[in-house]
Chains A and B, each alone.
Chain A
């Protein structure tokens, strides 16, 4: 944004001030996430920059907390044979097990949420859909209802059904919580979806399935993938339902972080957090690229 040439001096000062304020707000958004990265390489078990770190002394940095992610909980962390060490870590390290659980639960719930959510979004986007507003509100509501209420209700109901403290219970809960994101993103791609394309396909002799596969799918695919990524991240980050529904067997990364934060904050948590931030950057980039592709496909050029 540039000021017009006729701007007065006070206006210029105000404008600079405004840019500084904006800069500070962006810093507020991004700095906390970036600050944990260097701290996770701290050789000392503290949460602040040591003098050595500020002098960029290489002795003040270490990978010990990253190593701890793999070794914490292992039967024999000093095993020299790598394959044995790896098997031990894979089976016994608390963080590695939590990661395996998190990904298993997130992938399963993402697949179900994306399938159900996309179907529903296709229905909702048709102009003939009856009671659309009501049904949309209902389908979005898991995002709105306070998590404590949802988790409590699920806890009683799933316990009675015998699926609390199982993977199935946690997955069902995460599907429920991820579905609104799929619906929102897929519906967004269907806005501006040219329905005459479907009629044209039908006219040219394509049956319903072919139309879906060859016309609808490619157009909504970016939305579906974005929605799936949202559902994936929702599950990966979800804690309240896990607190109520998961047993030690199903312990996930957020659950592991939760006990770590409440009992003793070791910089291992910062190391895990750093890895998660890198993961978010990858996911965010993917979603951004998909969104642009989708806009290009649908012929919407951003203003």
Chain B
């Protein structure tokens, strides 16, 4: 340090400050900074690479499924190309030539047993668009091998009257691409009409928009209740002497450290119709033995259990902000004549806003992605969007629709995460 200071002095006459070895100080400083920057970056590199491989790429690849579905292109490849030349405004049906290509593709596909390329895959794909058509593809595939080498259209149309539906052919043209928006269309409760316009699905088949709204609404309710419950106890802990507040803090942290399934089980034991609360209520005579109230396996159960699970995530940031607010501010406000309520509202509350923002956003973000708890205690009206995504993954096997719903959920979550970053900052996330 001393040496470079003297060299600064000695070289100041030339106008450029140089270090002892003659390199301009600015360049040298830049090099050192570059090196420390690089070292910092290198330290994070292993984890960054790890997460890209185990986390980022898998999710990206999964999302690709929401627009990519290759059944039609794989099963009837020649037809998928040829039908693009058909103008559905010109004629009701594709030409005899095109239908011949279709029949030949189908006959070839019948012998394929490779997964993703069978007639069954095609049938399932078309069935998503026009329910009730899967069987005509399968039965046609069995029969087209015996077709005469003329009048293909006539022979195919004779197999089943559903082949004579012009909409079937228009739909086939529309989905004869590897990339399709139709799963996003389905994910927002829309469908294509006969003319190929996107229209609303009938009410009795609409579900996803409702569930998305319900997920947002329930998360908001849960977040609201968490805030209402967290505020008083965080305040209490922030003003109590350290020893007492530490003890109370353990009561907040213990649930936080306890397994999610344990807590969910505990609530089942408490809330079910033969459970602790109901037995007490019946014993007290509040309800008859036959009319026990249903408190679990519905929305109520989901809300109670999730509030319990997420409450610590609200208490921790609130408490850490409240701890830093000097009690003298409130005393000052009151000594100047403000009522308790007024001083609280004008002086104390504004100072807790960072804590409220942090807790609210965190709880909300975690709530909208919840899966396990609603799956166990949600019954029929307490399910959230994650449960539907898992359902399409594991039961109906419509993976592309699951991916489309998942990517919509992901966009919502990432937007909230961005808000969190902007207003709170990820560096401020703390536990305990």
Pair A33/B255 contact, Cβ less than 8 Å? yes
Q: Does B279 contact A (CB under 8 A)?
A: yes
Proximity bits, B248-282, A CB within 8 Å = 1, else 0: 10111111011111111111111010111001000
**Cα–Cα, bound, A26→B229 (Å):** 9
**Cα–Cα, bound, A36→B266 (Å):** 6
User: Which of B8-16, B126-134, B424-432 contacts its partner?
Assistant: B424-432
**Which residues in A have their C-beta under 8 angstroms from that of B250?**
284, 288
Q: Does A218 contact B (CB under 8 A)?
A: no
Pair A239/B410 contact, Cβ less than 8 Å? no
**Cα–Cα, bound, A281→B242 (Å):** 20
Proximity bits, B389-432, A CB within 8 Å = 1, else 0: 11001000000001100100110010001000100011101111
**Cα–Cα, bound, A119→B49 (Å):** 13
Q: Does B352 contact A (CB under 8 A)?
A: no
Among B239, B269, B421, the residue within 8 A (CB) of A47 is B269
**Which residues in A have their C-beta under 8 angstroms from that of B276?**
35, 39, 47-49
**Which residues in A have their C-beta under 8 angstroms from that of B59?**
145, 149-150, 153
Given the interface pairs A123-B43, A281-B254, A284-B250, the reply to whether A138 lies near B48 with Cβ below 8 Å is yes
Given the interface pairs A123-B40, A156-B58, A188-B430, the reply to whether A139 lies near B47 with Cβ below 8 Å is yes
**Cα–Cα, bound, A179→B232 (Å):** 32
Pair A39/B269 contact, Cβ less than 8 Å? yes
**Which residues in A have their C-beta under 8 angstroms from that of B429?**
140, 184
Proximity bits, A161-181, B CB within 8 Å = 1, else 0: 000000000001101100101
**Which residues in B have their C-beta under 8 angstroms from that of A239?**
260-261, 372
Residue of A nearest to B241 (CB): A1
Given the interface pairs A1-B236, A26-B248, A280-B254, the reply to whether A144 lies near B365 with Cβ below 8 Å is yes
Tell me how many residues of B have a C-beta within 8 Å of chain A. Answer: 91
Tell me how many residues of A have a C-beta within 8 Å of chain B. Answer: 93
Pair B61/A156 contact, Cβ less than 8 Å? yes
Q: Does B294 contact A (CB under 8 A)?
A: no
Among A29, A139, A233, A288, the residue within 8 A (CB) of B308 is A29
User: Which of A17-25, A64-72, A83-91 contacts its partner?
Assistant: A17-25
Pair A261/B268 contact, Cβ less than 8 Å? yes
Residue of A nearest to B50 (CB): A116
**Cα–Cα, bound, A150→B59 (Å):** 6
**Which residues in B have their C-beta under 8 angstroms from that of A283?**
257
Q: Does B156 contact A (CB under 8 A)?
A: no
Q: Does B311 contact A (CB under 8 A)?
A: yes
Chain B nearest CB from A191 CB (Å) reads 8
Q: Does B57 contact A (CB under 8 A)?
A: yes
**Cα–Cα, bound, A269→B267 (Å):** 13
**Which residues in A have their C-beta under 8 angstroms from that of B58?**
150, 153-154, 156-158
Instruction: Mark out the residues of chain B between 41 and 78 whose CB falls within 8 Å of any chain A CB in the assembled complex.
Output: 41-44, 46-48, 50-51, 54-63, 65
**Which residues in B have their C-beta under 8 angstroms from that of A257?**
261-262, 265
Pair B33/A269 contact, Cβ less than 8 Å? no
**Which residues in A have their C-beta under 8 angstroms from that of B393?**
148, 152, 155, 244
**Cα–Cα, bound, A128→B268 (Å):** 51
Residue of B nearest to A32 (CB): B266
**Cα–Cα, bound, A265→B264 (Å):** 12
Proximity bits, A5-49, B CB within 8 Å = 1, else 0: 000000100000011011001101110110110010000001111
Q: Which 8 A-B pairs have the closest CB atoms?
A: A146-B369, A123-B43, A157-B58, A153-B58, A153-B62, A153-B59, A123-B44, A32-B266
User: Other than the known A139-B44, A303-B323, what 12 A-B pairs have Cβ atoms closer than 8 Å?
Assistant: A11-B340, A25-B229, A29-B251, A126-B40, A146-B410, A147-B386, A157-B62, A179-B51, A236-B259, A257-B262, A280-B257, A283-B257
Give me 14 A-to-B residue pairs in the complex whose CB atoms sit less than 8 angstroms apart, sorted by A's number: A1-B239, A25-B232, A47-B274, A47-B276, A48-B275, A116-B47, A116-B50, A123-B44, A145-B59, A146-B406, A184-B429, A257-B261, A280-B254, A280-B257
A residues near B (Cβ < 8 Å) are 1, 11, 18-19, 21-22, 25-26, 28-30, 32-33, 35-36, 39, 46-49, 116-117, 119-120, 122-124, 126, 128-130, 133, 135-142, 144-150, 152-158, 172-173, 175-176, 179, 181, 184-185, 187-188, 226, 230, 233, 236-237, 239-240, 244, 253-254, 257-258, 261-262, 265, 269-270, 273, 276-277, 280-281, 283-284, 287-288, 291, 302-303
B residues near A (Cβ < 8 Å) are 33, 36-37, 39-44, 46-48, 50-51, 54-63, 65, 229, 232-233, 236, 239-240, 242, 246, 248, 250-255, 257-270, 272, 274-276, 279, 308, 311-312, 323, 340, 365-366, 368-372, 376, 386, 389-390, 393, 402-403, 406, 409-410, 413, 417, 421, 425-427, 429-432
